Structure 1
Amino acid sequence: MTGSSGAFDPRDVVTRKRDGLELRPEELRAFVLAYGRGEIADHVVAAFLMAVYLRGLSPTETAVMTSAMIASGSTLPLSGVTRPKVDKHSTGGVSDGVTLVFAPLAASLGLAVAKLSGRGLGHTGGTLD
């Protein structure tokens, strides 16, 4: 996780994952947070994502990475919402109409659903297109 100077080197994270090693929670958190601050080049993250695609993430790595991604940004305070909270986020694609059915269906079951949808989000369009 550290170079010869003792500083965090994101390339070490890429190398460890490429080599099939399980990443330590602290290095995964450091990687995600550093990328969010603009301290890691996109090509390094692309190499990391390729290594993850080829080698996969363990359940622990997935949980740590998800928590780090949540911690890297702003979150809405939802403690006042007492009902179970759910969301469905589309990965994109043409004719993905699941969101338009899911949100009212989940709400009809008593679940709290806060759904944001967009239009014209590139060549595939947004949920509303």
Structure 2
Amino acid sequence: MNAKQLIIAAAVFAAAGSAMADQTFPYVEFSNAPSTKTRAEVAAEVRTPAVAQSEYVEFNKVPRGKTRAEVRAELQQAYASGELAAIRNTEFVEFSHVASTRTREEVRKEAIQAAKAKNVGSGS
């Protein structure tokens, strides 16, 4: 992205921000509102089990998901039972057994050439 595009993007964001700054609800000042409970009452309320339990979620009680092997086994079972026969080849592609036709050095040289060509063409 060049400087001209960045300036245009900043101008668009500034215009959008000012358009959304229109206040639709009146501001109400609550800092001077009198409290109906004492500090001790609030602290006692926080210590009660009913309030303490509803304030957060304990994620250590969430059941674990399936492993990759379990999901693949389930998928193979669905294929075997015919549940996914119509979409067998569109589910996922396994790339773990693809043989390369180039050597590591050929790929490295090609990447260097592409990087040089990009740097020359970008004007930087």
Give the shorter-chain TM-score range: under 0.3
Q: Larger radius of gyration, structure 1 or 2?
A: 2
Relative to the length of structure 2, the TM-score reads: 0.18
More helix by share: 2
Task: Using CA pairs under 8 Å that are at least 6 residues apart, name the structure with larger relative contact order, 1 or 2.
Answer: 1
